[in-house]
Structure 1
Amino acid sequence: MSQTVLITGGTGSIGRRLTQVLRQQGFQISLLSRSDKQIPDVTVYQWDIKKGAIDPKAITTADYIIHLAGEGIADSRWTDTRKDEILGSRLQSTELLAKALKEHPNKVKAFIGASAIGYYGGDTDDRPLTETTVAGTDFLAQVVRAWERSEDRIAALGIRTVKFRIGVVLMTDGGALPKLAQPVRLGAGAPIGSGQQYISWIHLDDLCRLFSTALTDDTWQGVYNAVAPNPVTNETMTRTIANVLHRPMLLPNIPTFAIKLLYGEMAIVVTGGNYVLNKRIAEETSFNYKFSDLTNALEDLLK
């Protein structure tokens, strides 16, 4: 009998691809959604995070839970209201899941939670960061620390819990890559700021494979940096995109002040950088990346 994976945030770019991957592996998929819109071959349950309401069947029928739900970090400028939404969407949704798991008899064997490399801070230069590096102090770091603490409530119920601190996910449907590739396609590609800030990236399919591996392998537990083995600078990323698309790089770097004028405090998402290492995955697991080389990853996605 196939096992059921309950996914929150399953209608986003990562969730849609993850649903495909897991179904190909024989899992049944159910989603928690604010909408009652039905999706072929997927069971959709409803929840209302702000009202603290959840369909208990979502919990009682699940063998595993993957928690991706949360407002997009880079969807709009960080006003005080937007910051509250970013933090609240993560804490309230996780706390609602923890409450439901505590109140309803269930068979959940593992909880896989999304986290982010923003844990270390928005800009940490070229300092190597591993899972044991202390957290940063800026807004992103505060959000991720609180997010991970909320996931500890589920671990406290005795459910094996994995937290993936996800890097920059390379995919064609959303995320940073389309924004980076479009100017290059138009012949207007240029590094941002100094171009020396690091991008710790991962191909969407490798991220989905990390989730599926951690679901059923009981040795996976705790925090892992979900990044590819080779972080690159913003300039290297931009030039590699240009090479893959066979486009020239003619323009000077885009000044940092221009990005800050455009995006305000949120500019740190593109002007900052992190050199994040996948230490635990490399040293403690047998996981093999399909895309550990940036050129291969971009060729797969852009061609």
Structure 2
Amino acid sequence: MHILLTGGTGLIGRGLCRHWAQQGHQLTVWSRSPQRVAALCGAQVRGIGQLEELGAEPLDAVVNLAGAPIADRPWTSKRKSLLWASRISLTEQLLSWLQGRADKPRLLLSGSAVGWYGDGGERELHEDSPPVCEDFAAQLCGAWEETAQRAEALGMRVVLVRTGLVLARDGGMLKRLLPPFKLGLGGRLGDGRQWMPWVHLDDQIALMDFLLQQEQASGPYNACAPNPVRNAEFARALGRALHRLALLPVPAVVLRVGLGELSGLLLGGQRALPVRLSEAGFRFRFTDLDTALADLLGDTD
């Protein structure tokens, strides 16, 4: 199978490239830095800077994961524009190119996030649940999904992957949390009651491969483990995994003053459940947070 990836040099993209290369798939990554693709994704992965470089080569699937990190810095107007362009504008460019191809791939597997629902409070959120609120993250995810769904008009099957908080040793949220927690300076955010829909990176890779192979899969899927936890429990579990106390909370007012609108992403949450993945027969390897953290951090000092 020939798979074109956007965002292939990111945390999830690199994992997918390793997994699919081992399965013998042909992989092409569309990147702003195509010369770095082989080093980041594997020697057998081709990097291209322009979609036109593919010419009329047959494609079986497109995996669209491109997007600037949403929680790296405060949401200034400039940052919001970048977040929007890196997702929606890039997806529009991808669709325009696909529309001009005579031979179109069968599948578009497109990224999204559980932020699509907004701050869900105590509600259980299934794939058929409506958005709870229209904060910036929800608007961003909503526009991203709506843009990707236009591929259906091209005769393509569209799968939307609403990813939770991906846990990985060498990237993502966990990498940013490790330094303060290792020093014993970690703790809950605000009152710690907000839900955190987490997923182990290995399960994220496995579920995306599962959806690639399922000919009947379409529409949104919550990509998070079946047992979300509250932020306070997450902090305690991470402290246990590192053999450290996690008793220093970050007051909500400090986050609001320091991060502005972005603080809502940290102080809110989603009690999202992977209902459609479970119904389709996917089984998570890591369903318990302590087990997932032990797997990732078992040999950490």
Q: TM-score range by the shorter chain?
A: over 0.9
Figure out how many residues of one structure are paired with residues of the other and give that number.
Answer: 292
Deviation at 1:269, TM superposition (A): 1.9
Q: Distance in 1 between the 2:55 and 2:70 partners?
A: 27
> 256, 259, 276: which one pairs with 2:272?
276
Q: Distance in 2 between the 1:276 and 1:170 partners?
A: 16
Q: Report the equivalent of 1:294.
A: 289
Deviation at 1:267, TM superposition (A): 1.0
Runs of at least 5 residues in structure 2 that lack an aligned partner in the other structure: none
User: Is the CA contact 2:21–2:44 (under 8 Å) kept in the aligned structure 1?
Assistant: no
1:142-157 counterparts in 2 under 5 A?
142-157=139-154
Q: Does 1:46 align with 2:49?
A: yes
3-state SS of paired residue (1:113): strand
Q: Report the equivalent of 1:10.
A: 8
Q: Percent identity?
A: 39
3-state SS of paired residue (1:202): strand
Q: Report the equivalent of 1:245.
A: 242
1:1-303 counterparts in 2 under 5 A?
3-38=1-36, 39=38, 40-47=43-50, 54-57=51-54, 60-121=57-118, 123-135=119-131, 136-251=133-248, 253-283=249-279, 285-303=280-298
Tell me the TM-score normalized by structure 2. 0.93
Residues 4-23 of structure 1, C-alpha deviation per residue, up to 9 Å, x if partnerless? 11110111111111111111
Residues 192-230 of structure 1, C-alpha deviation per residue, up to 9 Å, x if partnerless? 110111100111111111111111210211111111000
User: Is the CA contact 1:59–1:100 (under 8 Å) kept in the aligned structure 2?
Assistant: no
Q: Distance in 2 between the 1:41 and 1:165 partners?
A: 29
Runs of at least 5 residues in structure 1 that lack an aligned partner in the other structure: 48-53
User: Is the CA contact 2:91–2:147 (under 8 Å) kept in the aligned structure 1?
Assistant: yes
3-state SS of paired residue (1:31): strand
Deviation at 1:249, TM superposition (A): 3.0
Q: Distance in 1 between the 2:56 and 2:156 partners?
A: 13
Change (3 A) 1:105 1:92: same
Q: Distance in 2 between the 1:223 and 1:282 partners?
A: 13
Tell me the TM-score normalized by structure 1. 0.92
3-state SS of paired residue (2:49): strand
Deviation at 1:182, TM superposition (A): 2.3
Aligned-residue CA RMSD (Å): 1.4
Residues 70-107 of structure 1, C-alpha deviation per residue, up to 9 Å, x if partnerless? 11111221111111111122111111111111101225
Deviation at 1:179, TM superposition (A): 2.4
User: Is the CA contact 1:180–1:238 (under 8 Å) kept in the aligned structure 2?
Assistant: no
Which consecutive aligned stretches of 4+ in structure 1 deviate over 6 angstroms post-superposition?
none
User: Is the CA contact 1:116–1:165 (under 8 Å) kept in the aligned structure 2?
Assistant: yes
Q: Distance in 1 between the 2:146 and 2:53 partners?
A: 24
Q: Distance in 1 between the 2:275 and 2:283 partners?
A: 13
3-state SS of paired residue (1:194): coil
